[in-house]
Chain A
Amino acid sequence: MKSWYVNRRTFLRGAGGVTIGLPLLNAMLPGQVGAQAAQPIRRFLLWSENNGTVMDAWRPSGGVSSFTLGRLHKSLEPYRNQLLILSGLHNKSARDSKTNAAVHQGNAGIATGGYNSMGGVWGTEQQVMAPGTGMTNPTFYSIDQRLCQEPHYQGALAARFLSYQFGVQVSDVPATSARVNYKYTKTPAFVQDKSDNDNQIPQYEGTHVESNPQQAFKDLFGALATGQMTPGGSGTAEEQAAAAARQSQKRGSVLDYVKDSYSGLMLKVGTEDQRRLNEHLELIRKLELQVAAIPPAIANAASCMPPNGANLPSGRPCKEEEQGTLQGPNNVDGCTGDLFEPIGKAQMDLLTMAFSCDLVRVSTLQWSMAGNRVGFGHIGAGGATHHDLAHASDPKLEIIHTWYATMMAYMLEKLTSVVEPDGKTLLDKTGILWVNELSTGATHSKEDIPLMLLGGAAGALNPGRFLDFRGQDRSNTDLLLSLLHAYGIMEPNFGDIRGEALGWLQGPLDLG
């Protein structure tokens, strides 16, 4: 079992979704300390940027361990022993997807090894796509969504969030260009693939990605924050506890009613509607478990310090077309490049604490979306949007991708700053998969894409090396399978079921 330390400044969540002061929860205080060493907590972070990069400046030179970082990555020099740089892999399933000129769908394949086709599902595609040119969702789920199915990769908030996806100006419409995470399910929907003899192909839906740090704070730390005492807030601790217990009981009865309502209604509707309602019901069942569950515990007394929600910026999901702006600072509407960094840093701070407090163990940070037109005028890469600069292979791209590397350096700094009781840092126990669906934006090339693993993943990864797979025709799917194995899930395949036949999946890579 886990061993939990409790920060005495922190209020714990009591039964029933209300906060209760510590004195009532003595039963929660530390268990056995020894167990933690036996199975260290391992985290996973998927980090997504888009529009390709500048490959010559990205790729290191030199040998496996004697490499020199590419020009873009000077800021990562202090962390070179935490980098496992992978060159020469192809985003094959996305490359071969039947989407013709719809070139910005590579996100759907990058972390799934899935394929997507034309002939989309109304309402799930980017708003402005001409009807019918919409893409279907990919034919496989993403690796993060697979990992978090395992109890070992579930944090204390598992009843609510098996994983948490942070976004920076990511659209709320789960278009394939705007998602890298696709939900795991044993019963995917199937659609006809209009571009392939109407064959039935499975469809995995994109997850929610939260672009508002204030909402992310509420989701993750709401239960821990002070000042949420209900009801009334007056009276003795015992009175408050009694009121809280009563409130919890009420929530339980109402949830029972709601659950019965879903079950009852499912008897009356068609099978597809049943599937949707059942999906909703499953989430409600999880809520119910939470009502009955012990409070989420706090992993680390020293390092788990929930941030102050009041200081967080508010971000919001941005549509692609909103991001074509090159305006300077002070655009309060929140979808401009100059707000990219403050929102991104707030999300990274939250992410670090979500890991440190062991609320979730699998997470994502997604920077905007494929084909995004974020303006980078504020860092000297203005004149055109990122997308348009990428199309023109403009020299300013180096400025943008150098900046992205500094954001990663910030993330690594945060993860390094948290030292767990065993003396290891969070970064030692985290594996980061840094993806970009393209290599070169101008040609929308999905060949030889820039991929990197970072961190030690509690011994699962062996970083500090540069592995060059150029000329070997290997794929991101091969990498995803390797990663799955490194994380202890020894499944034979990953990605689209036809992956082996079509050459998208050869087998795990030798990551050493």
Chain B
Amino acid sequence: MKRSTSWALPTAAAVWLVLGCSALSEQAAAGNAPNASDPSGNPPLAKGCAADSFQAPLQMLNEFELRNTLRDLLGEVAADVLIPTGARGVYRGALLIDQLPARWQDTAWQIAARAVQGVEALTGCDLANQNDECARVFIVGFGQRAYRRPLEAAEVEALLALYGSAKAEGFGAGIEMVLAAMLQHPSLLYRVEAGIADSVVGEPTLRRLGAYELAQRLSYNFWGSLPDQALFAAAAAGELDTPEGIRGQAERMLLDPRSTAMFADFVGQWLFTDHLGTIPKDATRHPSYTSEIPPLLKQELQLFVQTLARTGGDLNALFSADYGFLNAKLAAFYGVPGVFGAELAQTTLPPAAQRVGLLTFAGLLSIEGTVQGVSLSGASRTYPIGRGRFIRERLACEGVPPPIAKATTLAGVPEKIDALNLRFGGADNTPPRVFFEEVTSSNPVCKTCHTLLEPLGFVLERYGADGLPRQLDIDGTPVIAAGTYAASGSNSPELVGDYASPAELAMALAQSPGVKNCLTNHWLQYSLGRTLTETDQQCFGDAAAKARPVATTPLRDIYLDVVTSNIYRIRKFD
């Protein structure tokens, strides 16, 4: 009852919105109630959970998923056919359907023509004794994988008819028709979900997803491709009708190497590491931060999160680990002796490296992007503003109002900036603490927000713009790695307070329910391919997930709690 949580990610309007406590407590009560309506032990809908929260956009396969799907269906024949676009949205890309049918028709025929050059291997049918029955078997088996669900009898007949219309020209010609048709089918191009009618008591617009639809969600979430035989078998056997069954499959998929690409994708977006290396560091101040370093730092963070998730690591480990993932080049960058080879391997760092979990990875602290709001450092100086904002927004899901237009032209501000530039020799040489004292906290308009930012970022001042530990600030004075998490009408009041070191801040983050919820929230958004509103969190509704002690919650459970939750398994249809 002490804590209120807003899952609203920052919008100008919702920044200061905080949910009342009553909804959460009702929800907890509902979560404990016996579930009379569902014999499989599925949790009921939480009170306060609105039907709209189960809306989910129809997902077309994005480029990554389409490539993987074609590869898993047909091998490499399609590898060079797709024109790379690199299209991706927030946590989820979509192929754009503009003009796509026109292009895709040509591409589908091209792929089909290539695939039937090896039609015997593809179908397992003996060309010498080609027969319609073998074609039927192929259509049924291949079709299930292509559409990620068993084909209906009428669908099999329609495809057989296409086969039949061309088989006079040869078995391959018949199969080519089938492939061209399947490749253009909406069930291949989209992740279609029809749900099970009347499956949510008292909510006519809501439906539970069917087993094959859930299998499809899971496989595209974790692997970016179609389900494997084991997952199809689990769907067929009814295993995915219960939370336990889903959990078991999801855990298997998380541990499977096929989830590695997902971790790279998710971590790159969640922690902004996709922006690493966008702008080179100042070669005078940070000569060791060469262009080879950022990709390695990005990979290190991916391996860190991925390894924790696969080996049972918890939030405590996430925020306190004293190790990294190094190869010879990265070890030289960190100044760690005795590491050889090109592969990144888990390595305990010496105390001098000052590694205290996620917050202290050079791959995080050195990020500079060209887009507003993603930079934690510049080319030659730290950005405590960006670091404070990162902790609040990315780790605690607390809104920070966006900068106001023309902030640098507010009365008195330009003069103060000019004076500092003169005193220190430009913005790149002005210590952030001085800038805060004399500019951003001295103007009442600026101060409102900047109190939330720099004092928090100052805790990490011990790490320079290259993310490595340092003793001196850019003006030669000793750095002070202490600061404050200021209250903000806050989603995570447990974080509010003074911190004398990065380790203290890390420990607070590890124990913060708000931080755990925020991580869950990011993963939910990645999984659902959409943003969440504050009411949506009511529907997450997993009492067990909420009951876990924060710091010892395994990262893996955060991933698994999401896929067994109602909001993942129920969809709105109207």
Shortest CB distance A156–B (Å): 14
Contact present for B404 and A131 (CB under 8 Å): no
B75 contacts A by Cβ under 8 Å = no
B158 contacts A by Cβ under 8 Å = yes
B230 contacts A by Cβ under 8 Å = no
Shortest CB distance B341–A (Å): 28
Shortest CB distance B557–A (Å): 23
Known contacts A118-B12, A323-B370, A269 near B90 by CB under 8 Å:
no
Give the interface size class of chain A.
Answer: 35 or more
B272-304 vs A, CB cutoff 8 Å, 1 = contact: the mask equals 101100110000000000000000000000000
How many contacts A-B (CB < 8 Å)?
Answer: 215
Shortest CB distance A192–B (Å): 9
Contact present for A17 and B185 (CB under 8 Å): no
A443 contacts B by Cβ under 8 Å = yes
- Nearest chain B residue, comparing its CB with the CB of A323: B370
- Interface segment out of the listed B220-228, B317-325, B523-531: B523-531
- Interface segment out of the listed A61-69, A247-255, A300-308: A247-255
Contact present for B89 and A133 (CB under 8 Å): no
Contact present for A122 and B531 (CB under 8 Å): yes
Contact present for B194 and A254 (CB under 8 Å): no
B177 contacts A by Cβ under 8 Å = yes
Chain A residues closer than 8 Å to B99, beta-carbon distance:
160-161, 208, 219, 283
Instruction: Determine the distance from Cα of A420 to Cα of B471 in the docked complex, in whole angstroms.
Output: 73
Contact present for A128 and B374 (CB under 8 Å): yes
Contact present for B275 and A321 (CB under 8 Å): yes
A397-439 vs B, CB cutoff 8 Å, 1 = contact: the mask equals 0000000000000000000000000000000000000000000
Chain A interface, DSSP helix/strand/loop, else mixed: loop
B141-166 vs A, CB cutoff 8 Å, 1 = contact: the mask equals 00000000000000000110010011
B103 contacts A by Cβ under 8 Å = yes
Shortest CB distance A188–B (Å): 15
- Nearest chain B residue, comparing its CB with the CB of A215: B83
A60 contacts B by Cβ under 8 Å = no
Contact present for B186 and A208 (CB under 8 Å): no
Interface residues in B18-65 by Cβ distance below 8 A to A read 55, 57-58
Known contacts A173-B87, A321-B278, A250 near B166 by CB under 8 Å:
yes
Contact present for B97 and A279 (CB under 8 Å): yes
Contact present for A219 and B103 (CB under 8 Å): yes
Shortest CB distance B291–A (Å): 11
A287 contacts B by Cβ under 8 Å = yes
Chain B residues closer than 8 Å to A286, beta-carbon distance:
101-102
Instruction: Determine the distance from Cα of A208 to Cα of B85 in the docked complex, in whole angstroms.
Output: 12
Contact present for B402 and A102 (CB under 8 Å): yes
Q: Using a CB–CB distance below 8 Å, which chain A residues touch chain B?
A: 17, 98, 100-103, 118-134, 160-161, 172-174, 183, 194-195, 207-208, 212, 215, 219, 222, 250-251, 253-255, 257-258, 260-262, 265, 268-273, 276-277, 279-280, 283-284, 286-287, 316-317, 319-324, 373, 385, 387, 443-444
Interface pairs (23), CB distance under 8 Å: A120-B531, A123-B89, A123-B90, A124-B89, A125-B90, A133-B11, A250-B180, A254-B180, A254-B184, A261-B185, A270-B572, A271-B574, A276-B58, A283-B97, A284-B101, A286-B102, A287-B105, A316-B84, A316-B85, A385-B370, A387-B370, A443-B409, A444-B405
Further contacts, 17 of them, CB under 8 A, given A101-B403, A173-B89, A316-B84 = A100-B402, A102-B402, A127-B269, A128-B272, A128-B374, A129-B90, A129-B373, A131-B9, A132-B399, A255-B184, A258-B186, A270-B574, A272-B58, A280-B100, A286-B101, A321-B374, A322-B278
